[in-house]
Amino acid sequence: MGTHVAATAEDLSLDAARAFARVTSEAVRARDLCFVALSGGSTPRGLYRALVESESLRSQVAWDRIHFFWGDERHVPPDHADSNYRMARETLFASVPVAAEQVHRIRTEESDAAVVARRYEEEIVATLPHDEAVPRFDLILLGLGTDGHTASLFPDTPALAEQRRLCVDNWVERLHTHRITMTFPLLNAARTVLFMVSGQDKAAIVRAVLRSTHPDREFPAQRVRPDGDLLWMLDRGAASALGDAT
């Protein structure tokens, strides 16, 4: 596991964009195609903008060789303000040469969340190579909530116990809603998982997750232990409670 601390949120976005370009380029060189799962929330917005606004970085990415998925999605239509897909479409896909068939959004306009999750799992299996027991994404981007959740794997929710399914509908009681989320078996099969965390309000949970300061409790993010590389990218605010933060 590697930890990288950037001075500011803007620096974090740029550093994460460089990591995105490097990991995806390596995947394309090695296997001709690359499979990425994007994250939602506000933090990756800066990463997407950095990829768009930096001509140098944008030119490094083999956009026509990457298939894009999402680690989770809110159960809202794709044009809804809360849609992770909409955010990526507006900040990234509108400005880079990615064909429609390379973008595999979660079809959350379907009213039955269980059907949505099942169909998305089927699309992942049909699209990714079949040379592994569990499909392997080349890069999965994740965030971290103040309660220790990642993707839509919230504390005390049913999806935490899932050991076979790759994607499930997860009822989050405190939000009174279903979320569609990848599960630990799929996340942990990834070649690279990149956590991107920004802000002073995340400092306490970053310390709890990375330093295991609550031995009687395991936060969902602590269960992300991929077979490949695990990289935590933080800004100085998010890293401020770590003893060795710089």
Domain for residue 159, yes or no? yes
Domain that holds residue 142: 22-197
pLDDT of residue 246: 44
184 and 203 assigned to the same domain = no
88 and 40 assigned to the same domain = yes
Domain for residue 2, yes or no? no
92 and 209 assigned to the same domain = no
pLDDT of residue 244: 64
pLDDT of residue 42: 85
49 and 148 assigned to the same domain = yes
238 and 173 assigned to the same domain = no
33 and 88 assigned to the same domain = yes
pLDDT in tens, 54-68: 999 999 999 999 999
146-150-154 Cα angle (round to 5): 75
59 and 81 assigned to the same domain = yes
Mean pLDDT of 239-244: 89
106 and 146 assigned to the same domain = yes
Domain for residue 164, yes or no? yes
130 and 47 assigned to the same domain = yes
Domain for residue 5, yes or no? no
| Strand 192-197 relative to strand 229-235, pairing | parallel
CATH of the domain at 80: 3.40.50.1360
75 and 87 assigned to the same domain = yes
148 and 246 assigned to the same domain = no
pLDDT in tens, 20-57: 999 999 999 999 999 999 998 888 999 999 999 999 99
Domain for residue 97, yes or no? yes
Domain for residue 101, yes or no? yes
pLDDT in tens, 117-164: 999 999 999 999 988 889 999 999 999 999 999 999 999 999 999 999
Q: How many domains does the chain have?
A: 2
- 69: which residues sit within 8 A by CB, 6+ positions away? 35, 36, 37, 38, 104, 124, 137
141 and 202 assigned to the same domain = no
Strand-by-strand arrangement of the 2-6 sheet: 2-6, 229-235, 192-197, 139-142, 34-38, 66-70
Domain for residue 17, yes or no? no
Strand-by-strand arrangement of the 72-74 sheet: 72-74, 177-182, 167-172
Domain for residue 64, yes or no? yes
pLDDT of residue 131: 84
166 phi and psi, to 5 degrees?
A: -90, -30
pLDDT of residue 41: 83
Percent of the chain clearing pLDDT 70 (strictly above): 99
- 101: which residues sit within 8 A by CB, 6+ positions away? none
Please give the model's pTM, rounded to 2 decimal places.
0.96
Dihedral of the CA atoms 21, 23, 27, 29 (nearest 10)?
60
Average pLDDT, the chain: 96
pLDDT in tens, 190-234: 999 999 999 999 999 999 999 988 888 899 999 999 999 999 999
